[in-house]
Amino acid sequence: MIHACDLCGQTAATEIEPGVVVCSGCSFVYVPERRPPQEIAAAWGEVYRSGAYDPNWPGVKARLYYVAEWLDQKIGLEGKTVLDIGAGRGFFLEQVKARDGHPVGLEPDPDNANWIRSKDIACFTGAIEDFPGVGQYDLVTILWTLENCGDCLAMLRFARDALAPGGHVVVATGSRIMVPFKKPYSAYFGKLSPDLHCFRWTPSSLAVAFKESVLCLKALNDYRQNDVLLGVGCKEFFREVIPAADQSQAVIAFFRSWKEIFP
For the segment 230-258, the average pLDDT, to the nearest whole number, is 94
Domain hosting 237: range is: 13-261
pLDDT at 116: 98
Q: What pLDDT was estimated at residue 45? A: 87
CA angle 228, 106, 134 (to 5 degrees): 105
- Indicate the pLDDT class of residue 95, thresholds 50, 70 and 90: very high
pLDDT of 60 above 90: yes
Query: What's the order of all strands across the beta sheet hosting 122-125?
Result: 122-125, 102-107, 81-85, 137-143, 163-174, 228-234, 216-220
Count the neighbouring beta carbons within 10 Å of the beta carbon of residue 243: 17
| pLDDT over threshold 80, residue 133 | no
Q: Does residue 45 sit within a domain?
A: yes
Total structural domains within the chain = 1
Residue 147 near residue 200, CB atoms below 8 Å: yes
- Domain membership flag for residue 6: no
Decide if pLDDT at 124 tops 90: yes
Here the CATH number for the domain that contains residue 70 is 3.40.50.150
> Which stretches does DSSP call E strand in the chain?
13-17, 20-23, 29-30, 81-85, 102-107, 122-125, 137-143, 163-174, 199-200, 216-220, 228-234
Mean pLDDT, to the nearest integer, of 53-78? 96
- Each residue of 197-208: b (16+ CB within 10 Å) or e? bbbbbbbbbbbb
Residue 134 pLDDT > 80:
no
